Amino acid sequence: MSSKCYRSELVGLFGYPVDENPTVVTIEAGFKALGLDYRYITMEVRPENLEIAVKSLKALGYKGANVTIPHKVEILKYLDHVAPDAQIIGAVNTIYLKDGQTFGENTDGKGFIVSLREAGIDFVNKKIVVLGAGGASRAITVELAMAGASHITVVNRNEERGKILVGILSDKTPVTAEFVLWDHTYAIPEGTDILVNATNVGLYPDASCPDIYYDTILPDMAVCDVIPNPPRTEFLKRAEVRGARTFDGLAMLVNQGRIGFALWTGREAPTEVMKEALQREFAQ
């Protein structure tokens, strides 16, 4: 008889669509580097199956999961516990299981902030414009507001979603916030320090750009895209042409993954190994 354990610990990802999501590459590179017998399973979960999918995590003995489009907001009502900042954000991107209970966290905004800090971009007392008002935008704007940004403009097509986010920022954080309805080509206001694309526009296979006047991007702006695939989106390329410093979604992805990695494994994530794995993947 062999005493070897043939069972791997499981974590995964819920999304729809999810085929193009590269998170598995970074997380499994981390497992391998630490010699952990863990698997990260990318799962297509349709919205109508979200509740049963969350229940299945318990039944299948998962350690946890990441949550992506379009589930980050809806999933809150199916979890046993939600962290206080994730409640303000109103979105969860990371689940972990403890004592048979599901716990929700939001690590997107925290990963974004760490990436800005690593790049030496100061956001304290700065004016920030964020395109989009979905899960990623909520996480980024709430964390920036709580970390000292002075003013945040949320630009979104869907008026209700944009106004709800601005209401959250105004009521629950110290920042001043305004909403702009995105029903026209948007001109970035003078005096903007940081511009963030937090929409799906440009996510593979879509190669389009957010509908803004690119000649209103100035060289002293920092321009960030949350899209990890492809890392150099058309949005960032056009901002570079305008002389702005640009930051892609890869570093944010790796930094937000760190927190989940530690919750699932109890180990510090080997972020350099994880970042290199992702860069190799996109170089192919």
- Min dist CB 222 to ligand NDP, Å, is 16
Smallest CA-to-CA distance from 156 within 148, 165, 147 is with 165
- Min dist CB 85 to ligand NDP, Å, is 15
Given the residues 32, 63, 72, 98, select the one marked as catalytic.
Answer: 72
To the query of whether residue 172 is one of the catalytic residues in this protein, the response is: no
Angle CA 120–126–132, to nearest 5 = 95
Nearer to ligand NDP, 23 or 265 (CB): 23
Distance CA 121, CA 252 (A): 14
User: Backbone phi, then psi, for 131, in 5-degree steps?
Assistant: -90, 125
Q: Which amino acid is at 89?
A: I
Contacts of 30 (CB under 8 A, 6+ apart): 257, 261, 269, 270, 271, 273, 274
Nearer to ligand NDP, 72 or 151 (CB): 72
A 10 A CB-CB count for 232 gives 15
- Min dist CB 178 to ligand NDP, Å, is 16
Nearer to ligand NDP, 12 or 135 (CB): 135
- Min dist CB 131 to ligand NDP, Å, is 7
Nearer to ligand NDP, 37 or 44 (CB): 44
Which residue sits closest to ligand NDP, CB atoms considered? 134
Given a contact cutoff of 8 angstroms between Cβ atoms, the answer to whether 11 and 38 are in contact is: yes
Distance CA 253, CA 272 (A): 13
Six-digit token pair at 48?
A: 């109508």
- Min dist CB 256 to ligand NDP, Å, is 5
Contacts of 7 (CB under 8 A, 6+ apart): none
Nearer to ligand NDP, 199 or 265 (CB): 199
Q: Which residues bind ligand NDP (CB under 6 A)?
A: 69-70, 72, 108, 111, 132-137, 156-158, 161, 198-201, 203, 226-228, 249, 252-253, 256
Instruction: Please tell me what DSSP assigns to residue 189.
Output: P
Which residues are designated catalytic? 72
